[in-house]
């Protein structure tokens, strides 16, 4: 039976650190433009208590999203020990295109996947490159796409990338700007025979009827700012309630389809959006099986890297596989869950055996 397996991973973590203390002098405003009653030190302390974020990474001024993606892709290709000319697909998950420092619009012409293919020097015209817009779950969905191509017999090797430079689409007057960061993660998904390892099952959902605008583009909270320039905005409380309600059931759906017992799950790699939200999701997931949450089941990188959208799951996975997160490892035979939630509102999960 044809299935697929991740044979290489790579990450690019920008070098510019932005610590919480760097926001002490920021002019944070309410959505009506009014000032907060509390000083920034209190706002930042509460923010850290909820999100877990202590610092985040920003890309250098001369790097764009496709640059970060190229760096991560090179590492994944090298890790997989393959010739990039062998790639059948390059699937690039992002949300805002290449946004140059100081620019007011994203650039997606040509597609970012095409740009990465060119940077890699791939001449093979049968290597199809396309962008995937699926909110924060984009990279996980890209892996699902790769699995579908491989199982259908039209591909043997796919490069799946998740990259973003969210620091360039945030409103500096919105305290939510402290959540977002830049980064890139990539993997090579390849054909394999048998079911002893690789992707076992998945689940994907889109909730659009009432929830589609929970994340959106909106004007700055500063009343004198240009109203035609838009920034990423969100209804945080609604997203939190949505995520803890629907993500656990999607994870359970994927696990039930795999035929694997909850007791076999060794790690859960979940989108690094908010520490308390992720903890609540995993707790509710285990509650569906009437089980306690095992210690160390959920590696986290949000404390130092922030929320880099589509890049959080592949970055976290690569860091653990490379032994770069303390007290976290994945061994041969381990079953893990990859799960994400984000704009759309989209949810997905993959059950994977190493």
CB atoms inside a 10 Å sphere around CB 41? 12
The answer to whether 159 touches 87, Cβ cutoff 8 Å, is: yes
- Ranges assigned E (strand) in the chain: 2-12, 16-19, 55-58, 89-93, 128-132, 157-165, 182-193, 198-206, 215-218, 231-234, 265-270, 335-342, 346-353
The tens digit of pLDDT for each residue in 74-116 reads 999 999 999 999 999 999 999 999 999 877 788 899 999 999 9
Task: Identify the pLDDT of residue 193.
Answer: 74
Residue 139: C-alpha distances to residues 52, 89, 142, 223, 262 (Å)? 23, 14, 5, 36, 24
Task: Identify the pLDDT of residue 192.
Answer: 83
- Give me the residue spans of the domains in the chain: 2-196, 199-353
Who contacts 317 (Cβ-Cβ below 8 Å, separation ≥6)? 9, 185, 187, 269, 338
Q: How far apart are CA 244 and CA 283, in angstroms?
A: 9
Task: Identify the pLDDT of residue 90.
Answer: 98
The answer to whether 215 touches 238, Cβ cutoff 8 Å, is: no
Q: How far apart are CA 235 and CA 233, in angstroms?
A: 7
Enter the tokens of residue 67. Answer: 């640059």
Reported residue count of the chain is: 354
The yes-or-no answer to whether 2-196 and 199-353 have a common fold is yes
Task: Identify the pLDDT of residue 197.
Answer: 82
The answer to whether 155 touches 88, Cβ cutoff 8 Å, is: yes
CATH number of 199-353: 3.40.47.10
Task: Identify the pLDDT of residue 105.
Answer: 82
Considering only CA atoms, which of 336, 165, 353, 180 is closest in space to residue 272? 180
Asked: is 2-196 a CATH 3.40.47.10 domain? The reply is: yes
Average pLDDT, the chain: 94
Q: Kindly state the DSSP code that residue 162 receives in the 8-state scheme.
A: E
CB atoms inside a 10 Å sphere around CB 71? 20
Considering only CA atoms, which of 312, 333, 336 is closest in space to residue 53? 312
Q: How far apart are CA 165 and CA 99, in angstroms?
A: 7
Task: Identify the pLDDT of residue 195.
Answer: 64
Predicted confidence pLDDT, tens digits, the chain (354 residues): 778 999 999 999 999 999 999 999 898 888 888 888 888 999 999 999 999 999 999 999 999 999 999 999 999 999 999 999 999 999 999 999 999 987 778 889 999 999 999 999 999 999 999 999 999 999 999 999 999 999 999 999 999 999 999 999 999 999 999 999 999 999 999 998 766 789 999 999 999 999 999 999 998 889 888 888 888 999 989 999 999 999 999 999 999 999 999 999 999 999 999 999 999 999 999 999 999 999 999 999 999 999 999 999 999 999 999 999 989 999 999 999 999 999 999 999 999 999
Considering only CA atoms, which of 125, 131, 124 is closest in space to residue 90? 131
Task: Identify the pLDDT of residue 194.
Answer: 66
The tens digit of pLDDT for each residue in 237-283 reads 999 999 999 999 999 999 999 999 999 999 999 999 999 999 999 99
């Amino acid at each position: 039976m044809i299935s697929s397996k991740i044979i290489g991973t790579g990450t690019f973590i920008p070098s510019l650190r932005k610590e919480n203390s760097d926001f002490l002098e920021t002019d944070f405003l309410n959505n009506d433009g009014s000032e907060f009653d509390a000083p920034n030190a209190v706002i930042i302390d509460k923010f850290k208590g909820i999100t877990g974020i202590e610092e985040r990474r920003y890309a250098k001024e001369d790097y764009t999203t496709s640059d970060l993606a190229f760096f991560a892709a090179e590492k994944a290709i090298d890790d997989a020990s393959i010739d990039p000319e062998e790639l059948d697909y390059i699937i690039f998950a992002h949300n805002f295109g290449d946004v140059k420092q100081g620019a007011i619009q994203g650039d997606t012409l040509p597609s970012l996947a095409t740009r990465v293919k060119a940077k890699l020097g791939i001449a093979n015209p049968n290597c199809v490159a396309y962008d995937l817009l699926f909110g924060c779950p984009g990279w996980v969905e890209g892996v699902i796409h790769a699995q579908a191509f491989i199982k259908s017999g039209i591909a043997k090797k796919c490069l799946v990338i998740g990259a973003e430079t969210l620091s360039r689409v945030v409103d500096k007057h919105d305290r939510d700007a402290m959540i977002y960061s830049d980064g890139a993660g990539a993997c090579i998904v390849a054909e394999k025979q048998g079911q002893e390892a690789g992707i076992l099952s998945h689940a994907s959902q889109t909730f659009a009827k009432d929830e589609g605008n929970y994340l959106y583009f909106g004007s700055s909270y500063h009343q004198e700012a240009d109203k035609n320039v838009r920034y990423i905005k969100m209804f945080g409380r609604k997203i939190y309630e949505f995520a803890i309600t629907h993500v656990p059931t999607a994870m359970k759906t994927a696990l039930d389809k795999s035929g694997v017992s909850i007791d076999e799950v060794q790690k859960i790699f979940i989108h690094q959006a908010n520490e308390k939200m992720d903890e609540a999701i995993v707790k509710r997931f285990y509650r569906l099986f009437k089980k306690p949450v095992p210690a160390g089941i959920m590696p986290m990188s949000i404390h130092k890297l922030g929320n880099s959208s589509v890049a959080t799951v592949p970055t976290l996975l690569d860091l653990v596989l490379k032994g770069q997160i303390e007290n976290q490892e994945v061994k041969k035979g381990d079953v893990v869950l990859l799960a994400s939630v984000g704009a759309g509102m989209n949810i997905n999960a993959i059950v994977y055996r190493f």
